[in-house]
Amino acid sequence: MGKNFGLFLLATLFFAMAATSATAVEGLSPYLKVGVINSPADDAAQKSSDALKAGGFVVIGQYHPEGKPHFVIVAYTRKDLQDLTAKITDRGLLAAVLKVGIKEDGGKSTVSMVNPEYLFRAYLMKNFEPSRDALLKISADAKQSLRGVGAAEFAPFGGTMSPKELQHYHYMLGMEYFDDPVVLKKFRSFEEGMQTITKNLSGGKGNASLVYSLIDEGSKTAVFGVGLGDQKTGEPFFLPVIGEDHLAAMPYEIILSGDTATMLHGRYRIALHWPSLTMTTFTKIISTPGDIEKSMRSLTE
């Protein structure tokens, strides 16, 4: 506990300094504000889903983070994106799921989206460049699809990271990278893992819920989007602290690769999606990486 606490404090101090300096150089932000529309959240979600479908994307899940009706997440993908990412054995399929976040206030809904290029560079790392043109085309298509939703601002927000930083991102020396996942459980087979995780999510174990599943039978890889509903340790606890404008970061994921279930370490994934957080804010959720790991591990048992 003491060692982890110290490492987290060092990491957050470093990250706060890095985030400040990063704004001085050209970089990428984790989110894009699509615009504001005069519609309640569910209507805005439907308009976003319809726009994505018209653009050739497939909506694979939708839910209300924190259980709040005025928050909605729409998760979407496309076959060419799945085909590209499934070839990357180190959890590449994680990059196949993109998300739109809707936050309603006073009958008006702000629509935002995860910046596809930001996610692609972070999750695919060195594998981004060989597929650069195809991935940037998918990113452009996602934005084009949502152009009719809101004012089509596509204003970046949420912090700034350079492409170089994203492709080998971590807090600082000794902190976790994308390729330092938490191993949750090793099953006897991919099929056993699928059955166990699906059963636990269907039963609402640990106040968790299944938002989506993306399965690639060829590579025996599956990504489960998991809503973390526990009032004391889940989204209702940590999202209001670290920033609900970034709600498109959710849901968190379990990755089943062959017979092994993993998750991205909280000290990597949370900071990647909230890069402008201060050290003071990070320390308020010091237990969250461990809490998420505990919840995810229970879903594999």
pLDDT at 87: 94
Residues 6+ apart with CB under 8 A from 26: 162
User: What gap in Å lies between CA 250 and CA 236, rounded to an integer?
Assistant: 12
Query: Which fold would CATH assign to domain 2-298?
Result: TATA-Binding Protein (3.30.310)
Q: Is the pLDDT of residue 15 over 60?
A: no
The tokens for 195 are 């059955």
pLDDT at 35: 95
- Is 118:30 a contact under the CB 8 Å cutoff? yes
User: What gap in Å lies between CA 126 and CA 88, rounded to an integer?
Assistant: 10
Give the residue carrying structure tokens 């490492």.
7
**Omega cis (within 30) before 275:** no
Average pLDDT (76-90) is 96
The 10s digit of each residue's pLDDT in 224-239 is 999 999 999 999 999 9
Q: Is the pLDDT of residue 19 over 50?
A: no
User: What gap in Å lies between CA 254 and CA 257, rounded to an integer?
Assistant: 10
Q: What average pLDDT does the chain have? A: 91
Helix or strand or coil: residue 273?
Answer: helix
Q: Is the pTM of this model over 0.85?
A: yes
- Is 116:30 a contact under the CB 8 Å cutoff? no
Q: Are strands 155-157 and 108-114 parallel, antiparallel or unpaired?
A: unpaired
Cα separation of the two ends of the chain: 24
* Residue extents of the structural domains in the chain: 2-298
pLDDT at 22: 36
The 10s digit of each residue's pLDDT in 204-218 is 999 999 999 999 999
The 10s digit of each residue's pLDDT in 249-293 is 999 999 999 999 999 999 999 999 999 888 789 899 999 999 999
pLDDT at 14: 43
Residues 6+ apart with CB under 8 A from 37: 44, 47, 108, 109, 111, 149, 150
